[in-house]
Amino acid sequence: MTTTVRPEPGTRPDPWPDALSRARFHVVSGKGGTGKTTVAAALALALAGGGKRVLLVEVEGRQGIAQVFDTAPLPYEERRIAVAPGGGEVRALAVDAEAALLEYFEMFYRLGVAGRTLRRMGAIEFATTLAPGLRDVLLTGKAKECVTRTESDGLPAYDAVVLDAPPTGRLVSFLDVTRAMADLAKVGPIHGQAKGVEALIHSPLTAVHLVTLLSDLPVTETLDAAAELDAAGIPLGSVVVNRMREQWLPDRSVTAAAGGRVDATRIRNGLQSAGIELAPTEIDGLVAETVEHAVAVEGETAALRRLETEPTPPLPRLTLPALLGGVDLGSLYELAESMTAQGVHLEARR
């Protein structure tokens, strides 16, 4: 794994303010391709450190959690998927809207076998098509039930729930659709379910974390999502800058190298003094890599500056390094360790 050595411009707020250590519903979203599922998994591991119990939930039907933990596809039940440092544990749940609706029918209407008959008839798909917001209410409603569930001793079943949410393009409509559903259903269990989810999502118990890469489009979408969430009254958590590259060059050399001003003779002489002889074509390759790296660093530094200057005040920010060789279970623990080093934790509640 690489580490970030690049100095970051400007003054940063605390990457994990105290309010986040008290939040119990951590929603993770980001533009597609930014690694939001990996970040959600690492966040769950970090929050579970020190003996906490955390539930990691997915709602998109992609079985992304099973993939990053390299395990069998998750059923619609909570099962332990990892042990965290200090004796904590992460459980995982893949929420299926149809199964959640059947559970809902049984909980509020005691339909039992009749509910399964509705499933065979296709009535559940019909219901969620007729009222598109119902599907999202079922998904967020199940997450809310996990957040607020208590055990026989009155303690919470989970110290925190981490939700791997849909991408930022539809994040606010996914989270805030409960308002529309509350208006649609004026009374009854659906109304109560929607109002309960709405209350949780707009409370300090919730924090929405946005994952981005340091390039223009993901940063723009992140800033737009942050503005939408703020306007909707949904609490923001941290921006998670994923796959931060290591800076190989000193700051004074980046601008020159990005402009193509790299002294090939100096590189060759430096290598020779270290006892390394390379062919001219290999030196040319090193020069090209240096220029490419410097251009990337300049672009990422500009993107960092946008994250610091465009929101007012600037958002809390966590940074995660680029991983060599892709994501596996070991690297998830390394990412979680990086988050913990930046202050990610939960206040004890159980």
pLDDT in tens, the chain (350 residues): 333 334 454 556 789 999 999 999 999 999 999 999 999 999 999 999 999 999 999 998 888 999 999 899 988 889 999 999 888 999 999 987 666 666 665 555 454 544 455 555 454 554 555 455 677 777 888 899 999 999 988 889 999 999 999 999 989 988 986 665 655 555 556 667 778 888 999 999 999 999 999 998 999 999 999 999 999 999 999 999 998 877 666 666 666 666 677 767 777 777 778 888 888 888 778 777 776 666 666 767 778 888 888 877 788 999 999 887 777 888 999 999 999 999 999 997 65
HSE of 313, CA atoms in CB hemisphere, 13 A = 8
Beta bridge partners of 53: 89
Non-local (6+) Cβ contacts of 25 within 8 A are: 143, 144, 147, 160, 161, 163, 200, 201, 205, 206, 207
pTM of the model: 0.83
